Amino acid sequence: MTLLDAIPEKELVALDTVIWIYVVEANPVFGPAANLFFSERLAKGLNQAGSSLLALGELLVQPLSLGNQNVADKYRLYFSPRENWQVWEVTRNVVERAASLRAKYRLKMIDALHLATAIENQAQFFLTNDEGFRKVTEIKILILVLCHNLIFG
């Protein structure tokens, strides 16, 4: 099963930070599958997607520490809302839901915040490559793996 097979059209998909790294930094293993979602679903308006604004904070650290302004600017550009793409703020409801998710699943706080943001914004899927999300039941978890197969949480 491919990533596109796993995501029905018209569904809202939350993107974890790592998905952005695969796309922007052209990861040779996972980049093609992530790019396919961007080109075949988002660009064509068949799905909408979103990420927590906190993902931008995570994404900027590495390029800024390496002095790679071009990559940092790419991330900044991507994190501007536009058609089929949402940037979600962290609200009090998100923080409280994140605390509940962290308590229930023992997630890292940043992971719980990303997940809570997706749930609060009514995403149907959370796309990641972190198997730590596998146990979550509040939202459908899609985990990219080698050969573009998926493990469903």
What total number of domains does the chain contain?
1
Order of strands across the sheet with 85-88? 85-88, 48-52, 12-15, 125-128, 140-144, 150-152
Alpha-carbon distance 53 to 28, whole Å? 26
pTM for the model: 0.92
H helix intervals, the chain: 3-6, 17-24, 31-37, 53-65, 69-78, 92-105, 109-120
Q: What is the pLDDT along the chain (153 residues), one digit of tens a residue?
A: 788 899 999 999 999 999 999 999 899 989 998 999 999 999 999 999 999 999 999 999 999 999 999 999 999 999 998 999 999 999 999 999 999 999 999 999 999 999 999 999 999 999 999 999 999 999 999 998 743 554 444
CATH number of domain containing 118: 3.40.50.1010
Q: Please report the pLDDT score of residue 3 as a whole number.
A: 86
Print the domain residue range for 137: 3-152
- Alpha carbons within 13 angstroms on the beta-carbon side of residue 60 total 10
